[in-house]
Structure 1
Amino acid sequence: MPRGTYLHESEVEERFSCAPDGGGWRYNAERSDGGTVELVADGRWRPARLQVTAGEHVLRGGAAGPELLWVTGGRENSARAAGFLGESPGLLVAVARSLGLAEREQADVRVLVLTEPALGVRTVPQRWRLTEIAWHDADEGRLPVERYEVTDLETGEVTESYLAGDVVLASPGIELAGLEDPPNFP
């Protein structure tokens, strides 16, 4: 089970663990600013259960068919979306895996972006493209590293993220500062 630490651009540390979980995947994290992330994804990598805390704010959510539901501040909301995104790399892993892209394939999706610290939710249209799968030598053998290009279809901003299995190696504002065990490969 991978355990490690992500360092956010804001110098917040996110200590995480992740592992396959009964036909799905589980990600748990505690942040040095007191925030937490608990995500259970189903076998299709859709969020079966999500809880994010930031200070006094709590967001709970999950998938119900093609829609995502979430409750924050006592109000229930829903929208058609591929997944939740936010500061936590665990959310990025779940969205990337749920798309099931082959190399050089792309998909246009809507995602729910969580804004910190109030955990507001914005629906954002994005284009995800798996631009490359490169093989890297590691202690555990050769590991496939996927490079995703994500385009915000409203602003045209393009970012890149690198994933190895269920671990984000690098993404805007995120650095993998330490990893105790090798990633799981779905």
Structure 2
Amino acid sequence: MPRGRYSLHDPHDRTHLGDEHFQCATGPSGWRYVSQITTPAGDHAGSVDLALDELGRPIRLELHAAGWRVRGAALDGVTWVRTDPTGEHAQEGNVAAHSFTGASPAFLIANSRLLRPSAGEQARRVRLVALTPPVLAPLTLDQTWSLVDTSAHETDSEPLIVHNYRVVEVDRGEQNPVHIAGDVVLSAPGIELEELESPPSTFS
């Protein structure tokens, strides 16, 4: 069960935005990721709880940030309920999309599992609902994912297999590299793996 810490920063000016302390695990029915997010000063800033089925679809999502809460799942596309900090108003949403995305590295793992592009094939396109801090307001967007290559890195135990993806924001044409080993993001725009207590899990 991988457990560790990601640092989160502004992908443009490298301003440190906080840290995400996570643990995740694979299982016969899918994958689960939970994390606590802290500010640069160490104060609590939010949390992520994401569960996927064996096909990479989100069967349960719960996000907290700045008093806002979102619960969602893949249901008739994707469906969610967003609650304001006072808890008095809840807004439901539903979009013909495939999954969610956001600031957490969990979403990169989730969407790589959902799409599973192969090297040399045409980029796979996906429609996502983005939920980003601080208010977790939903925004529908399209991405394409392609597998650039796969590399093996020697370790003390066994080679670490790293999948190197190219992710393109379709509306803006922005291209970003994403490097994933098993169920851990090694690096991506705004994300760096700082600590890892055990090797990444591998998906069957």
Same structural fold, with TM-score higher than 0.5 when normalized by the shorter chain:
yes
Residues 135-150 of structure 1: pairs in structure 2 closer than 5 A: 135-150=152-167
Classify 1:139/1:5 alpha carbon distance in 2 versus 1 (closer, same or farther; 3 Å).
Answer: same
Partner of 1:56: 67
Is contact 1:140-1:182 (8 Å) kept? no
1:158 aligns with 2:164: no
* Moved segments of 4+, more than 2 Å: none
1:5 aligns with 2:16: no
1:31 aligns with 2:37: yes
Partner of 2:81: 71
- Aligned amino acid, residue 145 of structure 1: V
Report the number of matched residues.
185
- Aligned amino acid, residue 47 of structure 1: P
Is contact 2:74-2:98 (8 Å) kept? no
Partner of 2:137: 120
Is contact 1:84-1:114 (8 Å) kept? yes
Match of 2:53 among 2, 26, 42: 42
Question: What TM-score comes out, normalization by structure 2 length?
Answer: 0.87
Larger radius of gyration: 2
Q: Matches of 1:145 and 1:27 in 2, distance apart?
A: 19
Residues 101-116 of structure 1: pairs in structure 2 closer than 5 A: 101-105=117-121, 106-116=123-133
Q: Matches of 1:21 and 1:39 in 2, distance apart?
A: 14
TM-aligned CA deviation for residue 143 of structure 1: 1.5
TM-aligned CA deviation for residue 22 of structure 1: 4.2
1:86 aligns with 2:102: yes
- Identify unmatched segments of 5+ residues in structure 1: none
Partner of 1:16: 22
Q: Matches of 1:162 and 1:82 in 2, distance apart?
A: 22
Deviates most, 74-83 or 120-129:
74-83
Q: Matches of 1:53 and 1:61 in 2, distance apart?
A: 12
Q: Matches of 1:140 and 1:68 in 2, distance apart?
A: 40
The alignment's C-alpha RMSD in Å is: 1.2
TM-aligned CA deviation for residue 164 of structure 1: 0.2
- Aligned amino acid, residue 25 of structure 2: A
TM-aligned CA deviation for residue 121 of structure 1: 1.0
- Aligned amino acid, residue 120 of structure 2: R
TM-aligned CA deviation for residue 55 of structure 1: 1.6
Q: Matches of 1:100 and 1:56 in 2, distance apart?
A: 34
Question: What TM-score comes out, normalization by structure 1 length?
Answer: 0.95
Match of 1:95 among 93, 100, 111: 111
Q: Matches of 2:120 and 2:137 in 1, distance apart?
A: 33
- Aligned amino acid, residue 144 of structure 1: I
- Aligned amino acid, residue 101 of structure 2: L
Q: Matches of 1:116 and 1:179 in 2, distance apart?
A: 24
Q: Matches of 2:27 and 2:202 in 1, distance apart?
A: 13
What do residues 33-68 of structure 1 show as CA deviations (whole Å, max 9, x unaligned)? 320000111111111000000021001001115x11
- Aligned amino acid, residue 8 of structure 1: L
